[in-house]
């Protein structure tokens, strides 16, 4: 999956097997989520206020195989949104897999709570538009999204469309070089997960060491109670 291969080649041959591997990895991680216990140190949902930290990011993204640009803002308003970045070949246990685990736990919690149905969405934006094509995103989305808990998998036309979104969110991301000075497919990035309210304000940010799904679920509850 080298950087130099034509995009069409990738689009034609890679999606199915590639996506299946990724899906297998995160299905295996579901077992871990079953062991999540509430952290008693954190307050109950609705007993605290989440401040408005910054506006949600803007930009243009692609969602499905038709390659039609869509405004990212249409995925970050009117619902409470859990938003993060990932890429399909990411294997750093402190990176994307950790985000997958958290998103799976939140997705399950939303599905199990009828009061939350269609009030919460999850959004993943790919860090690797070269490899993570819209076709690939469609496979992820059809496997993961449900009507009561929509989960959008987005990508961009190219890294030049992605970079402003990353800058808006203060997420540094860098492609590693190998020993011979060639770029690899490893993208180092600081894992950040953003909780966005329905007015498109970021209300909480979770980083690698502090991404506790139970805390995220409590924060979602706080935002939904705030709406009531």
Partner 1 sequence: MKKLLRSSVCALAVLAVGPSLTIADETCNSPFTSALIKGQEDFLHVWTLGEVGVGDESDKLVTIDVQPNSPTFGKVINSVSVGGRGEAHHTGFTDDRRFLWAGRLDDNKIFIFDLIDPSKPKVVKTITDFADKTGFVGPHTFYATAGRMMIQALSNGKTHDGQTGIVVYNNAGDLISTHPMPLDNGGDGYGYDIGINPAQNVMLTSSFTGWTNYMMDIGQMVKDPEAMKRFGSTMVMWDFKSMKPITTMQVPGAPLEIRWSLRPEDNWAITATALTSKLWLVKQNEKGEWQAKDVGNIGDPSKVPLPVDISITADGKGLWVNTFLDGTTRYYDLTNVEAPKEVYSKKMGSQVNMVSQSFDGKRVYFTTSLLANWDKKGNDNEQWLKAYDWDGKELVEKFTVDFKAEKLGRAHHMKFSAKPTKAAALGE
CB of residue 74 vs partner 1: minimum separation in angstroms? 22
Smaller CB separation from partner 1, 126 or 141 = 126
Smaller CB separation from partner 1, 47 or 146 = 47
Smaller CB separation from partner 1, 144 or 187 = 187
CB of residue 216 vs partner 1: minimum separation in angstroms? 12
C-alpha span between 87 and 163 (Å, rounded): 14
Check if the beta carbon of residue 51 is closer than 8 Å to that of residue 132.
no
Tokens at residue 21, please? Answer: 């591997």
Identify which of 22, 38, 119, 114 has the alpha carbon closest to the alpha carbon of residue 78: 119
Burial of 223 (0-12, 13-18, 19+ CB in 10 A): buried
Smaller CB separation from partner 1, 19 or 171 = 171
CB of residue 220 vs partner 1: minimum separation in angstroms? 14
Q: Can you give the binding site for partner 1, defined by CB under 8 A?
A: 39, 41-43, 47-49, 51-54, 127, 158-160, 162-164, 166-177, 181, 183, 187-190, 192, 202, 204-210, 215
CB of residue 96 vs partner 1: minimum separation in angstroms? 14
Residues with Cβ within 8 Å of 211's Cβ and at least 6 positions away in sequence, in order, are: 98, 99, 102, 191, 193
C-alpha span between 179 and 157 (Å, rounded): 29
- Residue 123, strand partner residues: 83, 152
Smaller CB separation from partner 1, 101 or 219 = 219
CB of residue 131 vs partner 1: minimum separation in angstroms? 13
Could you give the angle at the alpha carbon of 184 between the alpha carbons of 22 and 180, nearest 5°?
150
CB of residue 69 vs partner 1: minimum separation in angstroms? 17
CB of residue 184 vs partner 1: minimum separation in angstroms? 10
Smaller CB separation from partner 1, 67 or 174 = 174
Residues with Cβ within 8 Å of 1's Cβ and at least 6 positions away in sequence, in order, are: 10, 14, 89, 131, 185
- Residue 193, strand partner residues: 84, 206
Smaller CB separation from partner 1, 15 or 59 = 59
């Amino acid at each position: 999956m080298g950087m130099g291969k034509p995009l069409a080649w990738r689009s034609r041959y890679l999606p199915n097997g590639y996506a299946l591997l990724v899906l297998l990895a995160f299905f295996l991680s579901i077992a871990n989520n079953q062991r999540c216990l509430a952290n008693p140190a954190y307050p109950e949902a609705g007993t605290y206020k989440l401040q408005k930290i910054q506006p949600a990011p803007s930009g243009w993204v692609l969602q499905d195989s038709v390659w039609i640009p869509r405004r990212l803002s249409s995925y970050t308003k009117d619902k409470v949104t859990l938003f993060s970045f990932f890429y399909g070949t990411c294997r750093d246990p402190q990176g994307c897999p950790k985000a997958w685990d958290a998103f799976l736990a939140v997705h399950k919690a939303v599905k199990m709570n009828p009061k939350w149905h269609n009030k919460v969405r999850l959004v993943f934006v790919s860090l690797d538009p070269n490899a993570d094509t819209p076709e690939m995103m469609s496979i992820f989305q059809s496997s993961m999204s449900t009507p009561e808990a929509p989960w959008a998998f987005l990508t961009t036309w190219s890294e030049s469309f992605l970079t402003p979104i990353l800058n808006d969110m203060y997420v540094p991301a860098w492609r590693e070089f190998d020993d011979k000075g060639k770029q690899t497919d490893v993208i180092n990035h600081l894992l950040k997960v953003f909780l966005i309210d329905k007015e498109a304000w970021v209300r909480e940010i979770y980083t690698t060491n502090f991404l506790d799904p139970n805390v995220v679920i409590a924060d979602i509850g706080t935002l939904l109670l705030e709406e009531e």
